[in-house]
Each structure stands twice: as structure tokens, then as C-alpha cells.
Amino acid sequence: MTYFPYEDGVLHVEEAALPALAAAVGTPFFCYSSGALESAYRNFAGALEGLDAIVCYALKANSNLAVVRTLARLGAGADVVSEGELRQALAAGVIPERIVFAGVGKTPGEMAVALDAGILQFNVESLPELEALNRIALDRSLQAPVALRVNPDVDALTHEKIATGKAENKFGIDMAQAGALFARAAELPGICFEGLAVHIGSQLTELPPFRAAFRRVAGLFGELRAAGHGLCRLDLGGGLGISYRTRTPPDLQGYAAVVREATAGLDTRLVFEPGRVLVGDAGLLVTRVLYVKDGTDRRFVIVDAAMNDLIRPTLYDAWHDIIPVAEPSADAETRPVDLVGPICETSDTFARGRPLPPVAAGDLLAICSTGAYGAVMSSAYNARPPAPEVLVRGARHAVVRPRLDYAALLGRDRLPDWLEAPTADASRGAA
């Protein structure tokens, strides 16, 4: 089933026509399909049927409260990497016992908030972090539930900026050091080691890296249990990708088969932290054409969305399909264009040499697969209010994050007292 059909020549999100949404909320805007979110979660969880598993959605992909609550209502927990994300997860209705706190740089304040909330586990990534967590836990007369994140030195075969499982990456503990860290933890009364964790990167589209990482961490899990450590959880992280251009991820049943093979006989609860695979394909960024400009050897289509709204093409050279909201005819001729935004940087480009049917000023375009790492990475660069977010269910829609008005944008700043009144020199200069 498609949640983004053309009906009567117009692109819809479920039963909501995008031109009507654009008229209601203005452009650019992100639009998410409730049905696509729910279907992605059910497909992922369904592939793991029969396993003792918790699915903890990675909020870093899209932390809009409406998106998180949509998944939480289906049983999703949360993978968070900051106090802010923890608070978002709790506000969206995720129960604390299904929240995992990951990340290499947790502050003492963040640890305290998470301990007070009663989360499932901290994924600890260094000895100094472990010792800091021990102190915070003892201050509260608590024991912190911990999973040690190990680095299996596996090449995830993904973009270098989102690979996390190689020896040169900042994440996790070298597997050879795990035993020593567990021995140290035995001396820390505020720490209760309950598991191991691994996560080798994002946007993985091949199974061999998962297989290698899962086998290594499962082997270590068995060794530590045999040494007398009472481990009860194995966190296998996330990282499954979605289709961008020619890169297509494995099917979920294939991924689940790798999990079953690697963990056979361990008899332990498994934790998964999917992000992009649950939300990526559930969103569009809708933008309006401002101008079509013909250069010497290029045609530029200038739109009202920009890199402050969607930075992935600039940051990762990411490919996103771009389609007209008005359905083109089957025989429409295409011409390569550069789709660019209005920000004063050459890097403010969504696509170069992309074949598109004829478009004109005022036309709407949809940039696809922007439900993950779109709005959540946006900014107000060039003093541009970030694009609002809309959630659709059937024919209904709701603005789930409004566009900042300029008063709110300017209101974030404060002038120091010595700049509150114009100086005489400034007044003369203005004259």
C-alpha cells in the first residue's frame, strides 16, 4: 500500500491533498503519514515475532512528539541520547522502563534525571562515564542499570560520517577490554551490569556487517555469562537503512534471520533501536518553486525550502527523490536541473543535474523520504524560520510543530544592558 498516492492528478498524503495542505500551512512544510509510521513499526516488530524483544525507537531520527506518541501507542520504547530527548520520550507517553539512554557524553545532570525517571538502562561507553554514573547513583541510594556498549571493529559499509562501529570511531569499548571493565564494575556499588550493547552505524543496506557485529557481541555475551556475570539483555542497536536511489536495504525477514542465527541459544531479552527505518519513508518536504533560472549550461529551479530545512544533501551528499505534486503526464519530457534553495551558499542544493518534468514558478514539489533526519536537524540559518510539521491521518491533518513567526525568532535573543539604547555615535551615523 502506498501512503503517498496520486489521485485525480494530485499527490496526496493518505487522503489529504498536498495543494490544500500547502494553502493551509504555507510552504515549505514537512508532512508525515500516520499510516506509514504505523505500518513501518508493525512490520519491524512483526519480523521479530517469537523473540523476547523490545523495540526502542531512536528519537534522533525524528523527535516530534506526535511521531513519538504514534509509535509509543503501538508499544515502542525509546532510544535517547540527551536529557532533551528523554524528556520528549516521557512527554510523548513512552514508559521509562522501555527507555535506553545512549551516547558517549552523558553529563552528570543527565544521568541524574534518567536515574530519577527509572529508565531501562544506560549504554555506557567508557570507564570514566561508568565511574561518574556510579557516583550519581550512590548520591541517590540507587543502582544504575547498565549495558556496556562494545565496539566490534566492523565496517558498516555506510557513509563515513554515520559509521560508528570501527576501531577509529569514538563509540564503545574495544571488545578486548570488556572483561576488565566488568571486573571494575564489580567494585562499584552503584552499578548493576545487565547487558551488552552494539551499534555499528546508520543507513546500512547490507546484511554482512550486521552478521559480523552480532556474532562477535553474542560470542562475548556468552563468555561473560560463563565467567559468572548475570547478563539479561543484549542490545543490538539499530542502523537499518531505507532506499535512496540505488541503495536498497535488505528485507526485514532477512535482517531478523541474521538476529536469530547470531543469538540462538543465548536465552536473553533483545533490545533494538531502529530510527530511520521506522520514520524515513513516512515523510515528505513540500516546497514551492520560486523561480526557474537558465544559466549558461544549467537550469536552476529555485525553491522556498533550503538547507536550513533539510541539510542531508549538503552534509552527506544524500539523494532524495523529488517529484511534482501535480502528476506529470506519462510522456512528459524531462530535463536535468539543479534544484536549489535561497540561502547564500552554493551548498544550498538539493539535487544537481536531476531529470525533472517541466516546472514553473508556483508549482509544488515533494522531496521524498524526509521523515528521518529532516526537521530534527533543521535550523534558523539566514534567519529563516524552520519548516513546520504536519501529521496526516486519513483525510485529517494537524500541525504538530508550527512555524516560528518572526517575533518568536527574534525573541530568542537578548540585548545586554549596554546595548539597549542606541549610542550617540550610532545615532549620528544613522543620520
pLDDT at position 425: 60
Indicate whether 165 pLDDT > 80: no
* C-alpha pair distances (Å), 279 with each of 235, 237, 315: 20, 16, 20
Grid cell 503501538 in the structure block, residue: 74
Q: State how far the Cα of 135 lies from the Cα of 35, in Å rounded to an integer.
A: 45
Q: Is residue 23 very low, low, confident or very high in pLDDT (cuts 50, 70, 90)?
A: very high
CATH number of 6-31+280-410: 2.40.37.10
| 154, burial (CB in 10 Å: exposed 0-12, middle 13-18, buried 19+) | buried
pLDDT at position 186: 83
Indicate whether 237 pLDDT > 50: yes
Q: Give pLDDT tens digits for 268-312.
A: 999 999 999 999 999 999 999 999 999 888 999 999 999 999 999
31 is catalytic: no
Q: Decide if 356 contacts 324 (C-beta within 8 A).
A: yes
Q: Is residue 167 very low, low, confident or very high in pLDDT (cuts 50, 70, 90)?
A: very low
pLDDT at position 161: 43
Q: Which helix (H) or strand (E) holds 259?
A: helix 252-263
Q: Decide if 273 contacts 102 (C-beta within 8 A).
A: yes
pLDDT at position 156: 47
Query: Which residue out of 31, 192, 232, 344 is catalytically annotated?
Result: 344
Write down the mean pLDDT value for the chain.
Answer: 91
Q: Decide if 232 contacts 195 (C-beta within 8 A).
A: yes
Rounded average pLDDT over 341-360: 95
pLDDT at position 277: 96
The sign one gets for the Cα dihedral 107, 111, 117, 118 is positive
Q: What percent of the chain has pLDDT over 90?
A: 77
CB within 8 Å of 96: residues ≥ 6 apart = 90, 117, 118, 119, 120
Q: Give pLDDT tens digits for 70-106.
A: 999 999 999 999 999 999 999 999 999 999 999 989 9
pLDDT at position 359: 96
Q: Give pLDDT tens digits for 98-154.
A: 999 999 899 999 999 999 999 999 999 988 999 999 999 999 999 999 999 998 876
Indicate whether 159 pLDDT > 50: no
Rounded average pLDDT over 59-69: 98
Which of 37-51, 158-172, 237-251 has maximum average pLDDT? 37-51
pLDDT at position 401: 98
Task: List the chain domain ranges.
Answer: 6-31+280-410, 34-278
Give the CA angle between residues 43, 220, 48 to the nearest 5°.
Answer: 10
DSSP code of 9?
A: T
User: For 54-81, b where at least 16 C-beta lie within 10 A, e where not — what string?
Assistant: bbbbbbbbbbbebbbbbbbeeebbbbbb
Q: Give pLDDT tens digits for 366-420.
A: 999 999 999 999 999 999 999 999 999 999 999 999 999 999 999 999 999 999 8
The CATH topology of domain 34-278 is TIM Barrel (3.20.20)
Indicate whether 428 pLDDT > 60: no
Q: Is residue 203 very low, low, confident or very high in pLDDT (cuts 50, 70, 90)?
A: confident
297 or 349, higher pLDDT: 349
DSSP collapsed to 3 states, 373-429: CCHHHCCCHHHCCCCCEEEEECCEEEEEECCCCHHHHHCCCCCCHHHCCCCHHHHHH
